[in-house]
Structure 1
C-alpha cells in the first residue's frame, strides 16, 4: 500500500494542536493578533499526486480551522493500526507564519481525549521538507510499537502534538522548601551540576547522591538528585535506599515512606534529602571519600 492510499474520503480532520512558533523556532514575528490565517494546501516537492488524491487532500484541507498568526500546528486526521501493532498517524503540519519553516528532529506525542499520553516518538521533520508561508502539508507519522503505551488506538478527541517538555531540555526542579533555604548562587550551582550529569534515556529514572554528612549523633544525612527522563511526572511513595562507601561496604540502609508522595515533573531533576537514623548506620571503618546511593529491594 502506498502513501496516498492511507488518505481516504472517509477521513475527518480532528483536534488541532497549535503552538506559538517561538516555542520551536526561538523567535517571534510581529503580526496582527486579531487576524486569523487560512492555511493553503502544500505538497512535498517530490510527490506526484494523482488527481483523485488531490481531491481528497483538498477536501481534508478545507476542513482545517484558521490559525492565529505565527503558529505551528499539527492537525490530527486518523490513525491506521498495522499488523505489527505500530501506528500510521495521519496529520497536517501547518504554518501560519509569513515565511517558510524547516524543522529538525522533533519529539511528538499522541494524547487521548482525557489528556493521557498514549504514544511518544521523535521524528526528523527535515523529511517533511520546507513548509511554505501560511500552508498545510499532509504527512504520515509512523509510531513504532515500542513507542505506544496502549493496546488500542485512542477514540475520537485525540490529538498529535509537539512535546514541548522534551524540547525545553532537562531542568532542575526545586521544592518550595528548598527555594526558601537556598541562595541564588547555590541554586545556580545545582543547575550546573544537573547539566553536567549523564543524559537520561526517555524512560529512565535515576538516583544520584551529591552530598553526605555524618553527624556526631551518627545520623547520616544524604542529599540526592532524583532524575526523571520520562515525558510525564512520576510519584514516589516509598523508597528503600542503601549507602555504600568507596570499598563497597554498606554504610546505611533504610526504608523511606513519603507522605505525601514526592512528585518529580517530566524531564526534570529534583534534589531531596534523606536522614538515616543512627540505628540504621554502620559508619565504623567506612571510607566516605567516595560513596553511592542505591535503590534496593525491601
Structure 2
C-alpha cells in the first residue's frame, strides 16, 4: 500500500485539502474561545486493513498536517491519487468530531479543481467501512473510473480536492401545486381553500406519498367523479403514467375499480397536487353508492 503515496513529504503541497462539512450538529458544549472550539482527532485504521508499520507512519504524517476542525463536524480531505489505465484510486481521510460514532451508507463524492468546478462525481456504498468512532480520522480508498469524469480528465498534480455532495434541503413548508388547467378554471376563493387545506394537513414523513380524498359525486352521466390530493413528501419529483384506483363507499364495499392513464403528470418534490378521476358508469359495481363517507386507494399488489 505504501506505493500509493507520492515520495514527496512536503506537507504544504501534499496535504492541502479543503474540509467539507456535512450537516454540522449544533454545538452546546464548546466555549466561545476559538481555540477551545478546535477538535482533535486520532488516526483510526479499519480493523480489516493489513498495513505495515511504515504505511501507518505515512498515514500518521499526513494526518498530522490536516487543518483543525470544530466539534460536531464530518469532513473529508484528500491524501493522494494513483491512476491505473482508466481508473483513479483516490485516497482520502474521513474525519468525525462528533461525540459518538457514525455509520455511512451511500455518499456521493465530488472531485473539484482549483476553481471549484466539479470534474468527477460518484456515489459510494460505504457499508464495508463500518462505524467511524468519535473524534477519529480514518483513511479510505475511493475508486473513480473514466465514466465518472465530467470533464477532460484528471487535473494536474495537486490541482484538485475532494468534497461531499450536500443534499439540498426540502422547502420548510409543503406547497400546493396546481396544473395549468386548474389555475385557469378555479376562482380565487377555491384556490384559497385549497391552499388552506394543504397548509393545515398533518405533515408527511420523509419520503411519504399518499392520496387524500377531497370530493366524490355522481355526475349527470351517472359516472363517479373523485377528486384527490396527491401528496408528495419526498425530496424528488414523481411522474405517474398509470394509476389504478379502488373506491369504497360508506358501506365499506368496493364500489368502483379502474386504471387511469396519465400524460405528463408530475408531482414536484414536497408538493401536493389535486386531480379528478372519473369512473364511467360501466365500471360502477353499485349505481347508487352512499357518498356520506368514502375512501379511495391503489389496489394491493
Check the 8 A contact 2:108/2:123 in 1, yes or no.
Answer: yes
Give, in angstroms, the shift of residue 123 of structure 1.
1.1
Q: CA deviation at 1:36?
A: 0.2
After superposition, the C-alpha distances for 1:61-85 in whole angstroms (9 at most, x for unaligned) are 11111101000000112222220x2
1:151-190 matched pairs, under 5 angstroms:
151-155=152-156, 156-165=158-167, 183=195, 185=197
Kept after mapping to 1: 8 A contact 2:83/2:89: yes
Q: Which residue of 2 aligns with 1:195?
A: 232
TM-score for both structures, normalised by structure 1? 0.55
TM-score by length of 2: 0.54
Residue deviations 1:50-105 (CA, integer Å, cap 9, x gap): 1221221111111111101000000112222220x222111101111122222111
Over 3 Å counting, the alpha-carbon distance change for 1:121 and 1:226 in structure 2 is farther
CA distance in 2, matches of 1:146, 1:195: 33
Cα 1:169/1:269, change in 2 over 3 Å = closer
* Distance change (3 Å), C-alpha of 1:89 and 1:184: farther
Tell whether 2:114 aligns with 1:77: no
Unpaired stretches in structure 1, ≥5 consecutive residues: 201-205, 210-221, 228-267, 272-288, 290-298
Partner SS, residue 232 of structure 2:
helix
Checking the alignment, whether the CA contact within 8 Å between 2:92 and 2:140 is kept in structure 1 is yes
- Does residue 5 in structure 1 map to residue 17 in structure 2? no
> Quick one: structure 1 residues 19 and 142, their matched pair in 2 at CA, closer, same or farther if it must change by over 3 Å?
same
State the number of aligned residues: 207
Measured in 2, the distance between the counterparts of 1:87 and 1:184 equals 53
Structure 2, gaps ≥5 residues long: 181-190, 210-229, 242-262, 273-277, 279-301
- Are the equivalent residues in 1 in contact too, given 2:4–2:81 (CA < 8 A)? no
Conservation of the 8 A alpha-carbon contact between 2:113 and 2:161: yes
- The residue correspondences of 1:119-158 to structure 2 (distance < 5 A) are 119-155=120-156, 156-158=158-160
CA RMSD in angstroms comes to 4.2
Q: 1:223 to 1:269 in 2, by over 3 A?
A: farther
User: Equivalent of 2:29, from 25, 28, 31?
Assistant: 31
Q: Distance in 2 between matches of 1:269 and 1:186?
A: 11
Deviations 1:267-288 (A, max 9, x none): x6999xxxxxxxxxxxxxxxxx
Of 55, 62, 67 in structure 2, the residue corresponding to residue 65 of structure 1 is 67
The aligned counterpart of 2:288 is none
Give the one of 43, 54, 57 matched to 1:55. Answer: 57
Which structure has the larger Rg over C-alpha atoms? Answer: 2
